[in-house]
Amino acid sequence: MAAPSLLNWRRVSSFTGPVPRARHGHRAVAIRELMIIFGGGNEGIADELHVYNTATNQWFLPAVRGDIPPGCAAHGFVCDGTRILVFGGMVEYGRYSNELYELQASRWLWKKVKPHPPSSGLPPCPRLGHSFSLYGNKCYLFGGLANESEDSNNNVPRYLNDFYELELQHGSGVVGWSIPVTKGVVPSPRESHTAVIYCKKDSGSPKMYVFGGMCGARLDDLWQLDLETMSWSKPETKGTVPLPRSLHTASVIGNKMYIFGGWVPYKGENTETSPHDCEWRCTSSFSYLNLDTTEWTTLVSDSQEDKKNSRPRPRAGHCAVAIGTRLYFWSGRDGYKKALNSQVCCKDLWYLDTEKPPAPSQVQLIKATTNSFHVKWDEVSTVEGYLLQLSTDLPYQTASSDSSAAPNLQGVRMDPHRQGSNNIIPNSISDTVNSAKTEQTAMKETSVKNKPDFKALTDSNAILYPSLASNASNHNSCMVDMLRKNEGPHSSANVGVLSSCLDVRTVIPETSVSSTVSSTQIMVTQQTIKTESSSTNGAVVKDETSLTTFSTKSEVDEYALPATKISRVETHATATPFFKETSSNPVATMKGGERQWCDVGIFKNNTALVSQFYLLPKGKQSISKVGNADVPDYSLLKKQDLVPGTGYRFRVAAINGCGIGPFSKISEFKTCIPGFPGAPSAVRISKNVEGIHLSWEPPTSPSGNILEYSAYLAIHTSQIQDNPNQLVFMRIYCGLKTSCIVTAGQLANAHIDYTSRPAIVFRISAKNEKGYGPATQVRWLQGNNKKAPLN
């Protein structure tokens, strides 16, 4: 975590959709990039379910159905996969609940569940301010506040320290409550505390950590429960313990428990002897406990004032949720001293990156031309941009292009939540697709209806700092749009010929192909078979293992409007090529043993059109700091064009509020040699009585007459069993037609590729007078089971 002075808080200053009213006592959980908020109170208890998409900066209200629970505050709220459990809370003043509800987020379906009571003892009584924590298939309930009076108008508080275990059924439903027998001294009764569960990597048993709370006076004690031995203990801690508090939040990221906000005693209060009605105030203090060493670290002290509004103001009863290594905070109650009749609630949304982002995946090739690459890499969650670099063994030369087009970048602060911030391309794909200069990627555009553009900004390639290629935004916006329109990307990349039995890493050239042809540049067209899925309010949430709402992965889901079904067979053309992998520490080509890396630029999203790169002054290495550090002034750097028939190494690093993370492994691609045909496009698969029908469109850049096409099928062999990353292909068609039948007998020998989602892999390539061009690769998704392809 960054030093306290370097914390880079970000306030989300613009968003779309219906923003929830300010409140306190609400709860939030995360499902992938979605922050789901329920309950809370402010001028009445809220009963709506609100969802904030952190990737698209959009609020929305799902159309929930089923046994919709009443609004509640200070309730238990946990997430298990794509289901959410709600327990207890205050449903109206003086009346508390002990009911349990389950929400299936894949269908936005509520269900009231009735767990079996404990075999000995009573089930949990109605309560609020309890902790409700999930680990494995069990939820753990501790403490809270009960009302001793049966008359809700006569509130007689009773603090609790009882402990329950709730066993869950897989996927949906619960088994029942139990009362574990614990050892050691039990924590004192309390409410509005926090409890998190953490298990040390590779060793140790899961432990629940209870911190703070209220029982007349606020508490600052830390308790630990070993969930295997059911033994309570008070771990010894180092560092400065946060002030006693309640209504704070505790969030675990890695091995750290982050404590933010809450009510703390007013200055001068003696916490040991203070009466129940002592004065208190909100705080914005921020600390973490290293759960491996039990050492406290103060990031923002209670005495630090913020006169620049550079971080969240003091609050209590807010919500906090961790998405990746980023913490989000929303709303809560603000104010100093007691003011029961004049509560003020915050409505602001903040986030904080707690550590540098992990390394992205290797750079993948979408499209290669004689002097450019269109590349992509897998998204890293909750990042603000990506630094792309390249290296080549060619001597660097001064480019003739005008370097004045690049803006001065010093002092620029990235904010992906501000639409248009540092964004030099149009605000939506549709703004550019009609005027895009397609050149090498001229394609027939087929509109896809009923697909709301939830990621118009983030799908287009917003270059945050330099603009490196002429018409880069147009090319990339057009490409993304064509990916959504079931059109295959094209390439004129020069590759060796595909033999009848082919290893993915080794392409054997024909005698007519120049011996200088080396590394393979293979286009990929993804095709999927989906089960039907309903959607509400533009959000599609899948069952099984994960959500795919607003996904930007290569296997993109259809975005369906309400009451629209996803067809069983869909074609999603995108490109994810195979590439030559090199060591992350390649042989040095510079004096001093270090390879010279040059910046391509800093990009908002995970695609880039590369035709030039920046030359650093002699002896200088690339930047290492963004946000909290210096950014190079690209306008002062010279640029160099890519050269045909040349190999380039690429690496990429993600950027967030903590700076630049580690670089990816290195990929190597080669620019094309003119004269070879492009890749076939618009590949389609449909079932028939014989097997499947495979069809495609000719290359848009044939570079002469197409003499023949070849289609290949990845087959199951012992070689693949030994090395699943190396596919072996068998030729199943050779001819002039742009379609072929793949029989059931051939499909019986198909290899199911599990490198991402299970799929059968095909390749199709075209040949002209000069030889074979790049292959288009097709992944036909088979679902999560190991059924026969045509079942």
Residue among 83, 52, 41, 78 nearest 66 (CA): 83
How far is it, in rounded angstroms, from Cα 262 to Cα 243? 10
Cα end-to-end distance, the chain, whole Å: 51
Alpha carbons 216 and 265: distance in angstroms, whole number: 12
Q: Rounded to whole angstroms, how far apart are CA atoms 31 and 54?
A: 11
CA distances from 593 to 587, 589, 596, 616, 652 (A): 8, 7, 10, 17, 21
Question: For the ranges 251-255, 401-405, 487-491, 732-736, which has the lowest average pLDDT?
Answer: 487-491
The answer to whether residues 377 and 293 belong to one domain is: no
List the beta bridge partners of residue 376: 364, 607
pLDDT in tens, 654-678: 999 999 999 999 988 888 778 888 8
pLDDT in tens, 403-444: 333 333 333 334 434 333 333 222 222 222 222 222 222 222
> Over pLDDT 70: what percentage of the chain?
67
The pLDDT value given to residue 172 = 94
Tell me: do 646 and 759 sit in the same domain. no
Q: What is the per-residue pLDDT across 301-311, written as a single tens digit (0 to 9) for each?
A: 988 767 678 89
Asked if residue 55 is part of any domain, the answer here is: yes
90 and 167 inside one domain? yes
Q: Are residues 348 and 365 in the same domain?
A: no
R_g over Cα of the chain: 29
Q: Domain boundary residue among 301, 335, 353? A: 353
Distance of CA 413 to the CA centre of its chain: 22
- The amino acid at 22: A
Do 234 and 86 share a structural domain?
yes
- Is 518 a member of any domain? no
Residue 569 CA, distance from chain mean position: 26
Domain-embedded: residue 383: yes
Asked if residue 643 and residue 773 are part of one domain, the reply reads: no
Measure Cα distances from 169 to 83, 176, 207, 282 in Å.
11, 9, 22, 40
> Interior CA angle at 506 toward 609 and 553, to 5°?
40
Helix, strand counts (H, E) of the chain: 5, 51
SS (H, E, C) 402-459: CHHHCCCCCCCCCCCCCCCCCCCCCCCCHHHHCCCCCHHHCCCCCCCCCCCCCCHHHH
Q: What is the pLDDT of residue 135?
A: 97
- Do 265 and 218 meet the contact criterion of CB atoms below 8 Å apart? yes
Q: Among 300, 332, 353, which residue terminates a domain?
A: 353
Q: Would you state the torsion angle of the CA atoms of residues 190, 194, 199, 205, taken in this order, to the nearest 10 degrees?
A: 10
CA distance 775 to 681: 10
Q: How many residues does the chain have?
A: 791
Mean pLDDT of 244-262: 97
Residue 54 CB neighbour total at 10 angstroms? 24
Q: Name the percent of the chain in helix, strand, coil, to the closest 5.
A: 5, 40, 55
Is 90 exceeded by the pLDDT of residue 75? yes
Domain count, the chain: 3
- Judged by DSSP in three states, 622 sits in coil
Same domain flag for 130 and 234 = yes
Tell me: do 291 and 375 sit in the same domain.
no
Q: Is the Cβ–Cβ distance between 137 and 198 less than 8 Å?
A: no
Tokens of 633: 């002034």
Rounded to whole angstroms, the Cα distance separating 685 from 486 reads 12
Span 379-403, pLDDT tens digits: 998 999 999 999 998 765 544 434 3
Q: What is the pLDDT of residue 756?
A: 67
Residue 23 and residue 344: Cα distance in Å, rounded? 9
What pLDDT is recorded for position 173? 95
Residue range of the domain that includes 700:
684-781
Residue 338 has pLDDT above 60, yes or no: no
d(CA 205, CA 164): 19
**CA-based torsion, 564, 566, 571, 574: positive or negative:** positive
- State the residue for tokens 């975590």: 1
Q: Which of 125-139, 289-303, 509-523, 622-636 has the lowest mean pLDDT?
A: 509-523
27 within a domain of the structure (yes/no)? yes
Span 338-356, average pLDDT = 81
Instruction: Output 571 or 600, whichever has higher pLDDT.
Output: 600
Distance of CA 531 to the CA centre of its chain: 23
As a whole number of angstroms, the distance between CA 768 and CA 505 comes to: 23
Strands 771-781 and 138-147: unpaired
Q: Whose CA is closest to 610, among 435, 765, 479, 778?
A: 479
Q: Are residues 232 and 169 part of one domain? A: yes
150 pLDDT tier (thresholds 50, 70, 90): confident
DSSP state letters, 581-620 = E--SSPPP-STTS----EEEEEESSSEEEESEEEEPPTT-
User: Could you tell me the pLDDT band of residue 367, with boundaries at 50, 70 and 90?
Assistant: confident
Question: CA geometry: angle at 748 spanning 742 and 750, to 5°?
Answer: 80
Contact (CB, 8 A) for 764 and 790: no
190 close to 214: Cβ distance less than 8 angstroms: yes
Average pLDDT, rounded, for the chain? 74
Handedness of CA 288, 290, 294, 299 (dihedral sign): negative
Establish if 303 belongs to a structural domain: yes
Residue 300 has a pLDDT of 93
Contact 588, 594 (CB under 8 A): yes
Spatial CA neighbour of 749 closest among 712, 695, 710:
712
Report helix, strand or coil for 718: helix
Task: Give the other-Cβ count within 10 Å of 306's Cβ.
Answer: 13
CB atoms within 10 A of CB 487: 21
Instruction: Read off the amino acid at residue 7.
Output: L
Residue predicted with more confidence, 679 or 401: 679
Domain co-membership, 202 together with 297 = yes
Supply the CATH number for residue 179's domain.
Answer: 2.120.10.80
Task: Give me the pLDDT at residue 777, please.
Answer: 82
Q: Which has the closest alpha carbon to 141: 188, 180, 199, 106?
A: 180
Q: Quick check: is 692 in a domain?
A: yes
- Per-residue model confidence as pLDDT tens digits over 90-102: 999 889 999 999 9
Question: Positive or negative CA dihedral for 87, 89, 92, 94?
Answer: positive
Q: What is the CATH number of the domain that holds 382?
A: 2.60.40.10
The answer to the question of residue 739 being in a domain is yes
Q: Per-residue pLDDT for 276 more than 60?
A: no
Query: Per residue in 529-577, pLDDT tens?
Result: 332 222 222 233 332 222 222 222 222 222 222 222 222 233 333 333 3
Domain check: are 338 and 295 in the same one? Answer: yes
Which pair of structure tokens corresponds to residue 431? 């703004």
Residues 6+ apart with CB under 8 A from 175: 115, 116, 167, 168, 169
- For 747-771, the pLDDT digits (tens) are 999 999 886 678 899 999 999 999 9
303: CB partners within 8 A, 6+ apart: none
Q: Could you read off the pLDDT of 222-240 as tens digits, one per residue? A: 999 999 999 999 999 999 9
- Same domain? 113 vs 25: yes
Q: Is residue 261 part of a domain?
A: yes
Tell me the pairing of strands 207-214 and 194-198: antiparallel
For residue 221, pLDDT beyond 70: yes
pLDDT at position 734, please?
A: 97
